[in-house]
Chain A
Amino acid sequence: MARFRTIRYIIGAAFGSMWRNLLTTFTAIITIAIMLIVFSTFLAVNDTLDHMIDALGRRTNLVAYVQDAAPPSEITALVQSVSARADVAEIVFVSREQAADDFRNTLSDLAEILDVIETNPFPASIEVRMADPEGLLPLADELRLQPALIDQVLVRADVVGRLLRVSNLARIGGGILIISLGAVTLFVIFNTIRLAVYSRREEIEIMRLIGATDWFVRGPFVVEGAVIGFIGAGLSAIAVVAGYARVGPTLESLVSFLPIQTQTGFVTNLALFTMLMGVLIGSVGSYFSVRRYLEN
Chain B
Amino acid sequence: MIIVQDVVKAYDEITPALDHVSLQINDRDFVFLVGSSGAGKTTLIRLINKDEEPTSGSIFVDGVNITRLKRGEVPSLRRKIGVIFQDFKLLPHATVSENVEFALRVVGEHDGRGHQRVEEAIETVGLSAQARRRPYQLSGGEQQRVAIARCLVTDPPIVIADEPTGNLDPDTGWETMNLLVRINAMGTTVLIATHNRELVNTMRRRVISLEDGKVVRDEVGGGYSG
User: Which of A's residues lie within 8 Å of B, judged by CB?
Assistant: 1-2, 5-6, 9, 17, 20, 202-203, 205-214, 216, 295
Contact = CB atoms under 8 A, between A and B. Distances in A.
Contacts of A212: 75, 106
A1 B111 contact: yes
A87 B103 CA distance: 72
Interface of B: 49, 51, 71-72, 75-79, 83, 85, 89-93, 102-103, 105-111, 150
A197 to B, nearest CB: 15
Nearest to B108: A2
A208 B103 CA distance: 11
A228 B40 CA distance: 44
A208 B102 CA distance: 12
Contact of A20 (B49, B51, B93, B109): B93
A208 B72 CA distance: 11
Given A208-B78, A210-B106, 14 more contacts: A1-B111, A2-B110, A6-B105, A9-B105, A202-B92, A203-B93, A205-B89, A206-B90, A206-B91, A209-B83, A210-B102, A211-B77, A213-B75, A214-B72
Nearest to B79: A211
A6 B49 CA distance: 24
Nearest to B98: A16
Contacts of B91: 203, 206-207
B107 A5 contact: no
A209 B42 CA distance: 14
A79 B72 CA distance: 74
Contacts of A208: 78
A135 to B, nearest CB: 62
Nearest to B107: A211
Contacts of A209: 49, 51, 78, 83, 85, 89
A18 B71 CA distance: 29
For the complex of A and B, the 8 pairs showing the least CB-CB separation, nearest first, are A211-B78, A211-B79, A212-B106, A206-B89, A213-B75, A211-B75, A2-B108, A211-B106
Contacts of A216: 105-106
A210 B50 CA distance: 11
A293 B74 CA distance: 15
A207 B106 contact: yes
B133 to A, nearest CB: 16
Contacts of A211: 75-79, 106-107
A214 B70 CA distance: 13
Contacts of B49: 209
Nearest to A203: B91
A202 B102 CA distance: 15
